[in-house]
Amino acid sequence: MATTYGKYPHVIYEIFNEPELQSWADVKSYSIEVIKTIRGIDPDNIILVGSPHWDQDIHIVADDPIKGYDNLMYTVHFYAATHKQWLRDRGDYALGKGIPIFISESAGMEASGNGPLDEQEWKNWIGWAEKNKISWITWSVTDKNETCSMLLPSAASEGNWQEKDMKESGIKTRSLIREYNGHN
């Protein structure tokens, strides 16, 4: 990947998505080896490093970050109906220790990808991310039969979707993106 795409300035590497059972020591050790390889080819594009417990133990990372490399960020994942203030508190702790955070997966429903949207908590999360200048990505641009899928089966694979092609999650995601980019 680095050999093929590292020359482009818009590339972001995510090297370990959602470590589940691994300790931070294991994730850190693995990540350092992958970072060394990437940096040998691509010296400056951003590398996202996962945190244990599905990218929610950012507070543990904050106490023992990877040192000696530039342009590293650590991931946090949230699903608003499951992950509440306690996870934002962990993020605040990490930010207070100078840890750069990137929300590489998020959405408004439960962590299962189903269940109702918790719009107020989702708004709390996006407001927190925006206040702290943290980039966020929402899951998932698909038409699967689950709440987190943003599209209906009628949606064209080429994009240019109208509201009639979108599920509630897609409509809300587009609204949030437009709101925080000044395009209401």
| Bond prior to 140 in cis (omega within 30° of 0) | yes
Ramachandran angles phi, psi of 179, nearest 5°? -60, -45
Residues 35 and 103 in one domain: yes
Domain that holds residue 153: 143-184
- State the pLDDT at residue 183: 67
Residue-wise pLDDT tens digits, 115-173 = 999 999 999 999 999 999 999 999 999 999 999 999 999 999 999 999 999 999 999 99
- Please give, one letter per residue, the 3-state secondary structure of 137-167: CCCCCCCCCCCCCCECCCCCCCCCCCHHHEC
* Residue 174: count of CB within 10 angstroms of its CB: 16
Q: Which positions are annotated as active-site residues?
A: 18, 105
| Structural domain count of the chain | 2
DSSP codes of every residue in 12-46: EEE-S----S--HHHHHHHHHHHHHHHHHH-SSSE
Residues 50 and 84 in one domain: yes
Residues 184 and 121 in one domain: no
Across the chain, mean pLDDT equals: 96
* Residue 152: count of CB within 10 angstroms of its CB: 13
**Rounded CA gap, 90 and 179, in Å?**
26
Residues 27 and 114 in one domain: yes
Residues 176 and 128 in one domain: no
pTM: 0.94
Residues 116 and 27 in one domain: yes
Question: Contact at 8 Å (CB) between 1 and 13?
Answer: yes
Q: What is the CATH number of the domain that holds 80?
A: 3.20.20.80
**Rounded CA gap, 164 and 5, in Å?**
36
Q: What percent of the chain has pLDDT over 70?
A: 99
Residues 149 and 69 in one domain: no
The alpha carbons of the chain give a radius of gyration, in whole angstroms, of 17
Residue-wise pLDDT tens digits, 31-61 = 999 999 999 999 999 999 999 999 999 999 9
